[in-house]
Amino acid sequence: MKKYISIFSVLLLMLFTLSCSDEIMDEIDTDPNNPTDVPISMLMSGCTAATPYWVTGTTLAWYSSIFVEHTCGAHGQMRDADRRANINSQLSENSWAFQIYPRLLPDLKIIVEKGSAGGSEEGKWIDVGIAKVLQAYTFLASTDTWGRIPYSEATLGAENRKPAYDTQESIYSAIMNLLDDAISDLQKENISTTGGEDYIYGGDPDAWILAAYSLKARYANRLSNVDPTGSAAIALADAANGFSSSLDDFTFDNWANDLGHENTWFQEENERRHHAISVTFYNILDEVNDPRIPLFITQVNGEYVPAQNGTSEEDQAGTIYSRMSEHVIFATAPLPIMTYAELKLIEAECHLRKAAPDATAALAAYTEGLEAALFQAGVDSSAVEAYFAQPEVLPADAANLTMEMIYKQKYIHLWPYGAVEAYAEWRRTGYPTMTNPFETPRRFPYPQNEISGNAENVPDVTPYNGVWWDDGTED
C-alpha cells in the first residue's frame, strides 16, 4: 500500500521545521552531524519524496520547460520568463535557498554519516547507498542548471557560511566517484531492511544499483562536447549495467488524489495554469504525424493551437491555446527521473559517436528506446507500426540513422516531466532550434541570497553564458 499521508507529512516536516531566521539556523548548525537526531528512516522518507518534488518536478522544471520550448508561458511568471522579463536573481531563489541547499542536501549528508562506519546507525548501507545516489543526482542537476556551485564546501552550515564554488569539471569527476561509492555500498551486507521509507524503489538495492549505473551513463554522455569518443565509451560501459527494461525506471509514483499531495505538474496546471503547448514542440510532432499528439495535447474548438514562445497572448483559462492533456497530467501521474527509453537513446548516440562507430548497434538501441517511449506514452501497436513506416522516424538502413533523429526522440520523450534534463540536452546538442524571438538563457541566474551573502565566491556571469560541458570553459 502506498503511504501517501506519510510521504507528505515528512515533506511538510522538512519544509516547516527549519526557520529562515539566523538564530534558528545557527542553532541547527551547531551540530551538523546530528541537527535534530532524526532517525534515518524518517530522513529517507523525506528525501525520497523531496528529491523528485524539489529537483525534478517544480520550479526548475517549470522554467526549464519554457526555456527548452516544450511549453510556452501563457500566464504569470512563466509568461514573463518566456518574454525574458524576469530572468534575474529571484527566478530560482526558492529552489536553491529554501529547498536544495538548506534542507535536501544536509539531510542526505546526515543519512550517509549516520549509516556509515562510526555513525549512530552504522551498517545501514542500503540507506547510505540510496542517499549517495540522490546526492549525485541533486548535485549534477544543480550544476547543470546553474553552472559552478558549492560542492566540496557545501552543507557545512555555521562552519562555513561562504562556501567556495567548485568547477564543474571537478564536480563531475567527484560525482562519478560518488556513484561508484553508492554502488559499492548498496552491495554491502546491511544490518536492517530498508522498505517503506524509500518511496521510489521500496528499499530494493538492486534497483538502486541499476539507477546509479544509468545516471552514470547519462552524465558521461553529457560530456560529449568535452571528450566525444571517451565519453561515449564510458557511457556505453555504464549503460550495460543499467536499466534492462521500463520496469526498472527511476520514477516517483507516490502521489495522491487529495489536495496538495498530487503530482506537481498537475498542481501547477490545476491551480496556476501558466503553461500552454509550445509551437516548437507541436511542430516537431506534427511534421512526422506523431501518434502521441492526441495523447499529449488538447484541442481548442476542435483544433490543435500551440502558442508561440515569446509572443503569446494571456491565456490562463486555456481558451486560446492547447494544453497538456489529462492523459499525461493527472493527480497521480508517475514522475520519471530517468527511464529505460532515455538510456537506450543515449546508447544509440554513443554507438554513433564512439571511436569505431557502429550504426547497426545504434539503430537497434534507437529502436528499443523509441518503442519504450511510445509504450510509456500509451501508443497502441497499430499506430506504432504506422509511425515506424516513416523512414524519417525509423530508417530501414542503419547507415541512415542520424544524431538529429536521436535528439528529436529524446526531446519528445522528455516532455513534460524531464524538462530539466531536456534543457541540459538542448545546450549540449543544439536541438531543437528555438523559435522564441528572445535569446534563450544557457543557465539559471544565481539566487539573490548568494549574491548578497557570498558575493566573493559567486561567479560573475550572466544567464546567457554557457556552462563548462556546453562551451568548454569554466566561469
Q: Which amino acid is at 239?
A: A
Q: Are 65 and 71 in contact (CB under 8 A)?
A: yes
Cell of 157: 552550515
Q: How many domains does the chain contain in total?
A: 1
Whole-angstrom distance, CA of residue 59 vs CA of residue 92: 7
Predicted local distance difference test score (pLDDT) of residue 191: 80
Cell of 219: 552524465
Predicted local distance difference test score (pLDDT) of residue 3: 41
Q: Does some domain include residue 131? A: yes
Q: Are 297 and 277 in contact (CB under 8 A)?
A: yes
Strands 275-277 and 335-338: unpaired
Q: Does some domain include residue 282? A: no
444-464 burial: b if 16+ Cβ within 10 Å, else e: bbbbebbeeebeeebeebebe
CB atoms within 10 A of CB 46: 27
Q: Quick check: pTM over 0.85?
A: yes
Strands 250-252 and 71-73: unpaired
Q: Does some domain include residue 325? A: no
Report the chain (475 residues): mean pLDDT per 10 consecutive residues: 42 40 39 66 96 97 98 97 96 94 97 96 96 98 98 91 97 98 96 84 97 98 98 98 98 94 96 97 98 98 98 97 98 98 99 98 98 98 98 98 98 98 98 98 96 96 97 91
Q: Does some domain include residue 76? A: yes
- Domain enclosing residue 165, as ranges: 11-259+333-447
Q: Does some domain include residue 28? A: yes
Predicted local distance difference test score (pLDDT) of residue 36: 55
Q: Does some domain include residue 43? A: yes
Q: Does some domain include residue 457? A: no
Q: What CATH number is associated with residue 395? A: 1.25.40.390
Q: Does some domain include residue 327? A: no
